[in-house]
Amino acid sequence: MMQAVPISLENCAKTFTDGTRALEPVDLAIAAGETLVLLGPSGCGKTTTLRLIAGLEQPDAGGRVLFGGEDVTALPIEKRNVGMVFQSYALFPNMSVAENIAYGLRLRRQSAAEQRARVGEMLALMRIERLADRSIDQLSGGQRQRVALARALAVRPRALLLDEPLTALDAKLRDTLRFEIDSLLRELGITAIYVTHDQAEAMALGDRIVVMDHGRIAQVGAPRDIYQRPASRYVAEFIGTMNRLSGHAEGEVFRCPGGYVAWPELPATAREILFRPEDTRIAAEGEAASLHGTVSAAFFCGDHVRLFVDVGEERPLVLETPARREYRHGETVALAVERHGLMVL
């Protein structure tokens, strides 16, 4: 039903008229039908990148935006045929749901019959048929966002661009809509670019994630690659929680204030080793443990306890452990680290 096109940015930088450099020269290729997530902290250039793709901004001289090989750099948004969805919905409050969805079709001067058919199709796709005649101010946030998606898709865009579409919603609704958007993008096979600062959302939705840092691309990869093989400390710290020990290598052993970690592949120059909470555990009874610390916080989460263990580092180690037993503040615990989870950056 949708036409999927590959999109690429070539050498796209953006300097605003006040001199703000929002984007350093960026090259990025998005495959047809792919969901690419732009992820990073506030101000890193995510929205600017999206606006360059949309045609709402022009790249600095020398930059090019290509849709399916066609150079669209000089084309304004209305000629690029993209659908956009924003955090703020941007719906017309004085129009009904159906009129909102038909808006782009009217601009394109489609016949009334065509408009009706397409609006019906979109209402069904988003499962909001019963809302067709409602006015926007009678809708919940989640319903508004479904209408915004329906409106964006009604024109059969060449790409769908989403800027923090779930940020304004409460946590539970965010989960539901994240699931719906994921199914929708898969079903439609449309090229989608999704901006978020929420790493859980990025990992759940992205075929690939672009992690941005101060107008630069810090890493591009599948969610699993970025999580398991972060290219830099910035990426490692931004995605998920990372445990860190500082010290030095002595042969196959990394020595640190809390003890040591044995690792045959340990680089001789390592000053810091990193590993995820899920590769950190409380040592089993009778297991020879080489790392010790004291419990600085224990949060009961029902099925598990989230433990913070002070091992003499700047930050406590974080781990999750079965809730079978209680942990007291200040209690000494022995830890083990799974070797396959160890990293040096």
Residues that bind ligand ATP (CB under 6 A): 16, 18, 20, 22, 40, 42-48, 197
CB of 20 to ligand ATP, least distance (A): 4
CA 48 to chain CA centroid, Å, is 16
**Residue 209, amino acid:** I
Q: Which is nearer to ligand ATP, 208 or 281 (CB)?
A: 208
Task: Compute the distance between CA of residue 180 and CA of residue 165 in angstroms, rounded to an integer.
Answer: 12
CB of 46 to ligand ATP, least distance (A): 4
Q: Which is nearer to ligand ATP, 41 or 257 (CB)?
A: 41
Neighbouring-strand partners of residue 320: 306
330 Rama sector, left if φ>0, alpha if ψ -120 to 50, beta otherwise = left
CB of 75 to ligand ATP, least distance (A): 20
Q: Which is nearer to ligand ATP, 47 or 145 (CB)?
A: 47
Q: Which is nearer to ligand ATP, 214 or 255 (CB)?
A: 214
Q: Which is nearer to ligand ATP, 45 or 258 (CB)?
A: 45
3-state secondary structure of 256: strand
Strand (E) or helix (H) holding 299: strand 291-300
CB of 51 to ligand ATP, least distance (A): 7
Q: Let me know: does 52 contact 59? Beta carbons within 8 Å.
A: yes
CB of 185 to ligand ATP, least distance (A): 21
Task: Compute the distance between CA of residue 334 and CA of residue 48 in angstroms, rounded to an integer.
Answer: 48
Q: What is the 3-state secondary structure (H, E, C) of 177-227?
A: HHHHHHHHHHHHCCEEEEEECCHHHHHHHCCEEEEEECCEEEEEECHHHHH
CB of 55 to ligand ATP, least distance (A): 15
Q: Which is nearer to ligand ATP, 48 or 145 (CB)?
A: 48
Q: Which of 119, 121, 115, 82 is nearest to 97 (CA)?
A: 119
